[in-house]
Amino acid sequence: MPGRAFTIRLGNGVEVLGKEEFRFDADVIEPTGTFCISHAHSDHLPKRVVGTSVVCSDTTLRCLNGRSKKQLTQAHRPDIETFDAGHMSGSRMFQVEVNGRRVLYTGDLCTRDRCGNQGARPVKTDVLIIESTYGKPRYVFPPSDLIASLVRDEVEDNFSQGRPVSLYAYPFGKSQDMLRVLREFSPFADQSVFNATALVRSEEDPLECQLWDGDDPDGPFVVICSPWLNRTKQAEALRRRDVKRLAVSGWAIDSGYKVKAGVHEAFPFSDHADFNDLIAFVKACDPEMVITHHGFSDSLAYEIKARLGIEARPLIRGQRSLLEF
């Protein structure tokens, strides 16, 4: 639309509007428009699909079409640059140019290299729209390799005692990280983790696992489970045995997480950037303005401005243009 003011707003996803219009992680894929999907976690996927094409990775497209009755195709847009977000298989950041200003949308990101995943690398930009999941200073994680080693040691210790292990992790992302970490133990996966893994595995990353149907294998075993396993009949099978329950989550930093999750041990392992990672990423991208969203957006915006001297504001529904910031 000629002459339209440069606008960033929460509407149908995160909307970046001007002479060109882009919608990121939209709730509805409409019949017309440019829609970019950052990755395959359910809180970033559309709730309704009307249109026919999206900008995303091959992996994200497979996951989207695996849960949608209407099949989508990839829109090939050379004017949209994509970068690995380091969050999960197929996660992408997008950079577009609107009214002469470069805008980088991160979606969820992780800047740390971990378990075979390369972390997101900074991209020089004018406006940075960044997630804020762990946008408070208390959320600083130990090195991922250290936590992975502790998880492996915990499983090995239980195996030496003949005790089976259940490990709770989100089906997409951390579950595949844990399959790599525990490969030597021939891990099982519950149905949701098994289905998710089937969508993201490749020849380069086979992600071997066995489907666990609730039967007791001979000897100790480890099964990687969705956090929502307790809603299924398989949870009863685990309760029939003396199973050591573990969980991996960035929220394990919080003291009450173990009790809330109902596990014996929880490890602060995340596929998100922690607070220090977010600050370092913003600094390296060197933007004129930062828009924070999807998490502790108020806190992260405050800390960016205080620590880096960069103008930063949370993305709040109802704000309609950068001039209002």
Tell me the average pLDDT across 203-229.
85
CB 94, CB 105: distance < 8 Å: yes
Q: Computed from CA positions of residues 85, 190, 221, 251, in that sequence, does the dihedral angle turn out positive or negative?
A: positive
Residue 181 has pLDDT above 80, yes or no: yes
With a CB cutoff of 8 Å and minimum separation 6, the contacts of 313 are 289, 290, 291, 292, 301, 325
Q: Is the model more confident about 168 or about 320? A: 168
How many Å apart are CA 230 and CA 232, to the nearest integer? 5
In order of 128, 131, 294, 321, the CA distances from 316 in angstroms are 15, 13, 10, 11
> pLDDT per residue over 98-125, tens digit each?
999 999 999 999 999 998 889 999 999 9
Confidence of residue 236 (pLDDT cuts 50, 70, 90): low
With a CB cutoff of 8 Å and minimum separation 6, the contacts of 220 are 158, 159, 161, 162, 163, 164, 165
* Whole-prediction pTM: 0.93
Q: What is the DSSP string of 104-163?
A: EE--S---S-BTTBPPP-----SEEEEEETT-STT--PPPHHHHHHHHHHHHHHHHHTT-
Residue 1 has pLDDT above 50, yes or no: no
**Percent with pLDDT over 70 in the chain:** 93
The three-point CA angle 94-98-100 to 5° equals 120
Mean of all residue pLDDT scores within the chain: 91
When mean pLDDT is compared across 165-179, 217-231, 278-292, the lowest value belongs to 217-231
How many Å apart are CA 57 and CA 289, to the nearest integer? 27
Q: Return the HEC string of 228-260.
A: CHHHCCHHHHHHCCCCEEEEECHHHHCCCHHHH
Domains within the chain, CATH numbers bracketed:
7-138+272-324 (3.60.15.10), 144-267 (3.40.50.10890)
What pLDDT score was predicted for residue 234?
A: 65
What pLDDT score was predicted for residue 51?
A: 92
Confidence of residue 3 (pLDDT cuts 50, 70, 90): low
Residue 321 has pLDDT above 60, yes or no: no
Confidence of residue 130 (pLDDT cuts 50, 70, 90): very high
Confidence of residue 320 (pLDDT cuts 50, 70, 90): low
When mean pLDDT is compared across 28-32, 60-64, 130-134, 234-238, the lowest value belongs to 234-238
Provide the terminal-to-terminal Cα distance of the chain, rounded to the nearest Å: 22
CB 149, CB 179: distance < 8 Å: no
Residue 157 has pLDDT above 90, yes or no: yes
**Percent with pLDDT over 90 in the chain:** 79
